[in-house]
Amino acid sequence: MSHARSFPPLAESSATTLILGSMPGMASLAAQQYYAHPRNAFWPIMGELVGAHTHLRYDQRVLALLAARIAVWDVLETCIRPGSLDGSILKQGLVANDFSSFFAHHGNVSRVFFNGAKATQLFETLVMPSLGEMRLHRQTLPSTSPANASLRYADKLAAWRAIAYELPANVAS
């Protein structure tokens, strides 16, 4: 069993949109980069939506997200999970990230998109009760994980276009 620990959020105070995964996978943890698995569709999708293309260095992709006022984080700060699959996350030992502090420092975030159903489930059970009456548009998008092989890339991209609404005019669409 391995104890996984997430990264700090990729975020600036101007962020209006937050994309949440559950917990970085093994490739991401090893690289210390969000969505580092070469077959994860996150960066190809972000390339098409906001110009965070896979041929760019990681720091340049991050800057493209930040310029689009998109923040990226994970619901969990720590968990016990053998391997990388969301389905392997054990119920015991779950610790959510500090979303009260996050939203206090990122007061413009009004939209939260979940990278897969597990992120949604974890947020709704571990985080929402502590946020009280906070109003957030919340939407589950298909997981970009290579484990979500039942959905074609084109279908994932079509669903993920939901984040492109209300992006700044200078961002690719």
Looking at residue 170, its pLDDT comes to: 47
Burial class of residue 37 in the structure, from the number of CB atoms within 10 Å of its CB (0-12 exposed, 13-18 middle, 19+ buried)? buried
Q: Would you state the structure tokens that stand for residue 78, as one six-digit string?
A: 């720590």
Beta-carbon contacts of 57 under 8 Å, excluding residues fewer than 6 positions away, are none
Q: Are strands 137-141 and 111-115 parallel, antiparallel or unpaired?
A: parallel
The pTM of this model reads: 0.90
In this prediction, residues 82-110 reach a mean pLDDT of: 82
What single-letter amino acid sits at 151? Answer: L
Question: What sign has the CA pseudo-torsion 45, 49, 55, 61?
Answer: negative
Write the DSSP string, 151-164: S-HHHHHHHHGGGG
Looking at residue 85, its pLDDT comes to: 60
- The distance from CA 136 to its chain's CA centroid, rounded to whole angstroms, is 15
Looking at residue 155, its pLDDT comes to: 95
Q: Is 115 a catalytic residue?
A: no
What's the rounded Cα separation, in Å, for the pair 158 and 81? 30
Looking at residue 172, its pLDDT comes to: 46
Looking at residue 92, its pLDDT comes to: 78
Q: Domains plus CATH for the chain?
A: 3-163 (3.40.470.10)
Model pLDDT for residues 98-142, shown as the tens digit of each residue: 999 999 999 999 999 999 999 999 999 999 998 887 789 999 999
In this prediction, residues 23-42 reach a mean pLDDT of: 91
In this prediction, residues 1-11 reach a mean pLDDT of: 84
